[in-house]
Each structure stands twice: as C-alpha cells, then as structure tokens.
Amino acid sequence: MTTLPPPGIKYFPEDSIEKKCYNIAESLKEYIPIMNERYRLGFNLYRYMKGEGDPPEVFIKTARIRYENISEKELIEKINSAINSLKNS
C-alpha cells in the first residue's frame, strides 16, 4: 500500500491582512507559548480587522486564550497598539 504525498501549502502573501494578523499573534510568543492559542488569537484578530469579530477586550476572554507572564490589561494594550500600527500603515 502506498500513501499519497501531502497537499501543497499555499501561504498568504506578505501584504495580506491575514498574514499581518497572524504575525501580530506570533510576535506575542513569549506571552502566549502554545501555538494553537496563537492561531486562535490570529483568527480572532483577522475577524476583528474585517469587522466581523469582537474587539480584543472581549475576544481575549471569550476565546479563552491562555497567556502567562503578563496581565490581561497589558496583553490587550500590546494587541491594541499592534492593531493601531497596522491600521496606520
């Protein structure tokens, strides 16, 4: 029995909003060490940037994103400053 090769991966372009949102989540690696938690953060950031999701103050609690070595208020401030710099660029 043989197996098929895995499907190819198509990455987001560097200038896409998806890539930028997931880069913000990845930049918080020291506070959110679990990769799946960062993916969840990136997805919620993407939904927020598209106007479909809740602001960070809400989705940090509702998505149950686990963080460490930082308070919730500081984490939200870091996320909001990253969003503002993304919107200004």
Q: What is the pLDDT of residue 3?
A: 85
- Can you list the alpha helix ranges (DSSP code H) found in 1-89? 17-27, 35-49, 56-62, 72-88
Range of the domain at 25: 17-88
Assess if residue 71 is contained within a domain.
Answer: yes
Residue bearing the bigger pLDDT, 9 or 50: 50
Whole-model pTM?
0.83
- The one-letter amino acid code at 85 reads S
The secondary structure of residue 65, as a DSSP letter, is -
Nearest of 37, 77, 70 to residue 56 by alpha carbon: 77
Percent of the chain with pLDDT over 70: 99
Assess if residue 53 is contained within a domain.
Answer: yes
pLDDT at 55 over 70: yes
Assess if residue 1 is contained within a domain.
Answer: no
Q: 30 CB contacts (<8 Å, ≥6 apart)?
A: 69
The answer to whether 53 touches 47, Cβ cutoff 8 Å, is: yes
Assess if residue 10 is contained within a domain.
Answer: no
pLDDT digits (tens, 9 = 90+) for 3-41: 888 888 888 888 889 999 999 999 999 999 999 999 999
- The one-letter amino acid code at 11 reads Y
Assess if residue 38 is contained within a domain.
Answer: yes
Assess if residue 22 is contained within a domain.
Answer: yes
Indicate the number of domains in the chain.
1
